Structure 1
Amino acid sequence: MTRTNQTTTLVNGMSRRTFVKGAAVLGIWGGLASFGLSGCAPRTHAEQLANSAPWKAGTYTAEVTGHNAPYTMTVTFTDDAITAIDTTANQESLGVGYDALQALQQQVLDNQTINVDTITGATLSSLSLQNGLEDCAKQAGAFEELEEVPAPAKPAVDATYDTDVCVIGGGGAGLAAAIAAVQEGANVIVLEKCGITGGSTNVSEGALNAVDPERQEPQGIEDSIPTFFETTMKGGHNTNNPELVHFLTDNALDSVHWLESLGVEFKDECGSATGSLGERSHYPATPSGNTYIRSFQEFIANNGDAITLMNDMQAKELITDETGAVVGVKALYNETDDVTVNCKAVIIATGGFGGNVEYRQSVNNGVWKEVVLDESIGCTNIKPCAQGEGLALAEGAGAELICLSDIQLHPCGTPGTGLMEDIRTSGRNRIFVNTDGKRFVNEGAERDVLCKNIFAQPDGTYWIVVNTLRYPDPDEPDANGSTINNMLALGHIVAADTVEDLASQMGVDAANLQASIDAYNAVVDGGTDEFGFVADNTADAQMTEGPWYACRKVPTVHHTMGGIRVNVESEACDADGNPIPGLYAAGECTGGIHGENRLGGNAIADCMTFGRNAGTNAADYAAAA
């Protein structure tokens, strides 16, 4: 197998790596490929300043609205240059908006222009920086000169690359597969269509289900792999492929240990993701699923001789030889340049199709056939993810698509967008009430049960109500990086010191809301309720004191359980179960693992377990080819 040579320099704390293959040179940023690099502008900054007046040197402030919260940014000018940009007050999501801000700031400083393109996958965060730059430049008297300097060009790429394994998709499953393939001895190229790396794993809460006696037994949690298997089958309405479920439940703890070997730290205690039907959810010690992506990016930075990550690269077609084996990928870079990757094996890890409204409606003849999944039902995936391109690629190479009607809705959607934001439904010490202020469901039920009950409520919406137990400090970021005060600043939640005042702001009956809280507290105190809610004596406590907080929620498309048919080796298969030579798939783009309803916490377990499986097997296939 051929190897690449690598040189590394550090720019503003980020690793800039140059990969060399023969005479071909490709410059890439780790984790944010193709951003932060200087381009050739038709007119330089110096040329713009030649006949202009000096700027007003100083540090200027702008108030901007990010994706997650408003924040204050500052820009420092000399009389002829931008010398510093400070956006550290932002609350943007790690791996998405936060990383986009860092990359764009470096572009501005490197190229001395306020014209920077938005980063695909982090548009709103990009716009917040653009708006702040314009504001501060006007204050400094520099706007007219800076706006004439064009945006930096993205780096050039070669027309052809050769490698052992090509992974399509740089999310959790794709990067897990790529790293596993490298560990097995392969050279790997990863093609990611967005300008950010990590996909929807970045914005997940990071819950990973696995039976783990070392963590569970000290908590008094009784669990076993057979129980995990049976629960997963039950959650999927027993329509799952048992062989795939066995592989998932048998090997999920190995995925935890593998992630730990890459530097991921998990909390000492297991919890329960929304709809997990058990306390076996492992959560990263640092917020969100971006923890996994950061560890993967560090591995990539340290193994640049074997793995190349290419962003802004949309896979368009699989290349097959005369035998039908998959031997490469045709892609489009930056929407303009044709690129071919020749390889011995391809792994598709492009995620699901929940963001493709037309497609999801066309296959919606199963669990949610009575619900119109149009634009009024949002999607939790970041745009432009979850469009289903990987399914079309696999089908074009002869793979079968299965279980496409198995679409999961999540109860934690934000009205209007469907994104999972603000107060989350996962965790404990919260109640769900309808617009009359009444509880209507067991908050610990499966996700499909929760959503069906929500649709049955007035206007198909509800409120999640929490108190100081969940948020003892309004300025302390929660597990997702959000604070109560940021949520309030965006107008996404309501807050009050008393239940009566909270009910008034929610527009619900105060007596009903108090009765709902009292009923929940009675269960926590050892009682029972009409919905079958079971309290956890290690995690639940009575909700009695303010401040109180409430947030409106709606069901949203969260996960599409159908996709590419795979076997236990993660090989993509045709309608007769025959593997497509050289083609593998992992993650949400596959079908058969979760049945009609996925348990909360099983998606990350799936991505890591089957991602590792696909990477290892693809590398072995490539070595033998």
Structure 2
Amino acid sequence: MKTKEEGKTDREKKGVTRRRFLATGIAMAAGTGLALNLSRGEAEAAARKLPVKWDEEIDVAVVGSGFAGLAAAAEAAGKGAKTVVLEKMPTYGGNSIINGGVYASWDDEYHLRQKLGLGEDSPKQHLEDTLKGGDYYNIPELVKNLTENASQALNWMIDEGGCKIREAVTRAGGHSAYRTHTVVEGVGRGFTEPLRKIGEKRGVKIRLNNKLTWIWRKDTEGPVLGVEVETPKGKRNIKVKKALIMASGGFSRDIKMRQAFNPSIVPEYNSTNQPGATGETVRYAQAIGADALQLAFIQLYPFAEPETGILDNPAVYPFNGVGYGLVYVDKNGKRFVNELERRDVCSMAQIKLGLKPTYSIFNEEMVVKMGGTMEEIKQGIAKGRFIKADSIDELAQKLKIPAEPLKETIATHNKYLKDGKDPDFNKPITKVMIPLEKGPFYGIAQWPAVHHCMGGVRINAKAQVIDIWGKVIPKLYAAGEFTGGVHGSNRLGSNAIPDCVVHGRIAGTNAAAEKA
């Protein structure tokens, strides 16, 4: 028989156990200023004593009120759990409510792709595109969750929440099929409002100005016990009887955290994100033992407004239009990239030019096909975002780019569409792409801005958070941009919402099933 000492692992003999990690590893990380990038208060994790009493008890608490948090809360409440959503900002929705409102799914309940004659697609093809688009850094089981459940989640929002999608499907950069749907509102609230309504009908309460300041866990062997929240009336400690779900998004607005993990994302870059997209909640999760991965993978959105970095409705047109023949040109009127390339490729192609901004060129014939509306065009013109012209010559003049090179570029691209080949950039040509022959023509300026964090806390296929030893942290779930591993090194556009909604639903369902 082995002695107690002989039965210990090498780590245990050296005194490195999961239990001791909280007391030593965190303090060491904070002391050196490395690893977890913790503040002084966070470094006291091991020394912080559990609340003597709880101010409140709840079945399920959800941190974050975007796509993932709202979907998680709705499902948890639907399974009978008393559920609250804690949102640190004064309004609900986070980045989601200002998102572009585009959703990748191989099918929808109206079967629009099939009706519009836009070719074949399948969950398997969507999975393969997503893995390839992330350079195979993705965790396959998480991608499978997304692609196999995206259509069901979309139909759920349509049927239960009254979500409405436009009668158009487009092909986005990095995708091999026409699978991107757009909500009628043309912005993320077209999904957040249906999700909020589903939750409201099921009894979900959203608490604004409630900022997470700590996650309570006795040690790294035990379950999550609750949260400390800063409210307008002071700090409160809330006990979670069933589970805590983290859905607080990424850290695109957290310049220090961006610099810590990816110094190439320089502070001078604008961001599409709202001010609350900071990374303290990721650090709180790490402080109680959660593993994190791929935090250096930070995406730029190639088509943001050049001066402010905002992702307004016009900024979605360069994304949605490429499947129908929209062209990207530089300040010299020349194409510089395959328009159907992934976002990271398009962003770097612009940055390498060193000439800000670049432009998207399209015509009126493309607008409705790509999921746009003439009312949006009218509003964009009024705001100075869309530039309208009756000829390419006039458009070049208004955009202040040379007319002859632009006319030559457009004529050459038109020929490529008719020939079915793009020898310059090898763009896949499809039969629905429209030559830029008939006006009116439109141009819009664009430039990359920090947009999405592919990295985050590690989860399994059940949306359970995993610790640094590969073990499940009991009663802790996560979904959406707060997590890592779904998208790999690069997220394909329109994959964010299905990721958030699908994994939010999984997290909510499983959290509600926990024993109180």
Matching of residues 209-220 of structure 1 within 5 Å:
209-212=104-107, 214-218=111-115, 219-220=117-118
Shift of 1:241: 0.9
Shift of 1:583: 0.7
SS of alignment partner, residue 553 of structure 1? strand
Quote the Cα distance in structure 2 between the aligned partners of 1:220 and 1:273.
13
1:174 paired residue number: 69
SS of alignment partner, residue 164 of structure 1? strand
Determine whether 1:186 maps to 2:85.
no
Shift of 1:351: 0.6
Q: How many residues align?
A: 449
1:413 paired residue number: 304
Q: Which runs of 5+ in 2 are unaligned?
A: 1-53
Task: Rate the CA distance shift 1:303–1:269 in 2: closer, same or farther, 3 A.
Answer: same
SS of alignment partner, residue 365 of structure 2? coil
Shift of 1:225: 2.1
Determine whether 1:402 maps to 2:301.
no
Task: Rate the CA distance shift 1:457–1:252 in 2: closer, same or farther, 3 A.
Answer: same
1:227 paired residue number: 125
1:278 paired residue number: 177
Determine whether 1:248 maps to 2:146.
yes
Task: Rate the CA distance shift 1:559–1:482 in 2: closer, same or farther, 3 A.
Answer: farther
Which residue of 444, 459, 474 corresponds with 2:355?
A: 459
1:360 paired residue number: 258
Amino acid at match of 1:503: A
Determine whether 1:338 maps to 2:239.
no
Determine whether 1:349 maps to 2:241.
no
Q: Kindly indicate whether the alpha-carbon contact (under 8 Å) linking 2:212 and 2:228 is maintained by their aligned counterparts in 1.
A: yes
1:618 paired residue number: 511
Shift of 1:471: 5.3
Shift of 1:325: 1.4
Q: Kindly indicate whether the alpha-carbon contact (under 8 Å) linking 2:157 and 2:195 is maintained by their aligned counterparts in 1.
A: no
Of 219-228 and 176-185, more deviation after overlay is shown by: 219-228
Shift of 1:577: 1.4
Determine whether 1:522 maps to 2:415.
yes
Which structure has more relative contact order (CA 8 Å, sep 6+)? It is 2
Task: Rate the CA distance shift 1:277–1:394 in 2: closer, same or farther, 3 A.
Answer: farther
1:536 paired residue number: 430
Deviations along 1:149-193, whole A, 9 cap, x unmatched? xxxxxxxxxx93321000000111000000011111111010011
Q: Kindly indicate whether the alpha-carbon contact (under 8 Å) linking 2:120 and 2:177 is maintained by their aligned counterparts in 1.
A: no
Deviations along 1:176-216, whole A, 9 cap, x unmatched? 00001111111101001112211212122222222228443
Amino acid at match of 1:532: N
Q: Kindly indicate whether the alpha-carbon contact (under 8 Å) linking 1:277 and 1:599 is maintained by their aligned counterparts in 2.
A: no
Quote the Cα distance in structure 1 between the aligned partners of 2:380 and 2:123.
39
SS of alignment partner, residue 473 of structure 2? strand
1:236 paired residue number: 134
Quote the Cα distance in structure 2 between the aligned partners of 1:272 and 1:224.
14
Determine whether 1:318 maps to 2:209.
no
Task: Rate the CA distance shift 1:357–1:492 in 2: closer, same or farther, 3 A.
Answer: same
Q: Kindly indicate whether the alpha-carbon contact (under 8 Å) linking 1:330 and 1:340 is maintained by their aligned counterparts in 2.
A: yes
Quote the Cα distance in structure 2 between the aligned partners of 1:199 and 1:266.
21
Shift of 1:470: 4.4
1:302 paired residue number: 201
Amino acid at match of 2:439: G
Matching of residues 578-597 of structure 1 within 5 Å:
578-597=471-490
Amino acid at match of 2:451: H
Q: Kindly indicate whether the alpha-carbon contact (under 8 Å) linking 2:420 and 2:429 is maintained by their aligned counterparts in 1.
A: no
* TM-score (ref. length: structure 1): 0.68
Amino acid at match of 1:400: D
Shift of 1:294: 1.3
Task: Rate the CA distance shift 1:277–1:433 in 2: closer, same or farther, 3 A.
Answer: same
Q: Kindly indicate whether the alpha-carbon contact (under 8 Å) linking 2:366 and 2:434 is maintained by their aligned counterparts in 1.
A: no
Which residue of 322, 340, 346 corresponds with 1:450?
A: 346
Quote the Cα distance in structure 2 between the aligned partners of 1:445 and 1:361.
26
SS of alignment partner, residue 199 of structure 1? coil
Quote the Cα distance in structure 2 between the aligned partners of 1:546 and 1:491.
19
1:60 paired residue number: none
2:269 paired residue number: 377
Task: Rate the CA distance shift 1:525–1:277 in 2: closer, same or farther, 3 A.
Answer: same
Quote the Cα distance in structure 1 between the aligned partners of 2:491 and 2:320.
17
Quote the Cα distance in structure 1 between the aligned partners of 2:376 and 2:114.
32
Task: Rate the CA distance shift 1:589–1:480 in 2: closer, same or farther, 3 A.
Answer: farther
Deviations along 1:391-442, whole A, 9 cap, x unmatched? 0121122101110011111111112221113343122242110011101111
SS of alignment partner, residue 292 of structure 1? helix
Shift of 1:242: 1.4
Determine whether 1:387 maps to 2:283.
no
Deviations along 1:510-543, whole A, 9 cap, x unmatched? 11111111122223323322111233323x2222
SS of alignment partner, residue 386 of structure 1? coil
Amino acid at match of 2:493: G
Shift of 1:272: 2.3
Amino acid at match of 1:432: Y
Determine whether 1:438 maps to 2:334.
yes
Deviations along 1:292-336, whole A, 9 cap, x unmatched? 2111222243333xx2110111111011236531121111113x6
Q: Kindly indicate whether the alpha-carbon contact (under 8 Å) linking 1:288 and 1:480 is maintained by their aligned counterparts in 2.
A: no
2:392 paired residue number: 499
1:99 paired residue number: none
Q: Kindly indicate whether the alpha-carbon contact (under 8 Å) linking 1:207 and 1:273 is maintained by their aligned counterparts in 2.
A: no
Q: Which runs of 5+ in 1 are unaligned?
A: 1-158, 473-477
Amino acid at match of 1:373: I
Quote the Cα distance in structure 2 between the aligned partners of 1:343 and 1:481.
49
Shift of 1:482: 7.0
2:5 paired residue number: none
Q: Kindly indicate whether the alpha-carbon contact (under 8 Å) linking 1:244 and 1:593 is maintained by their aligned counterparts in 2.
A: yes
Quote the Cα distance in structure 1 between the aligned partners of 2:63 and 2:223.
17
* TM-score (ref. length: structure 2): 0.82
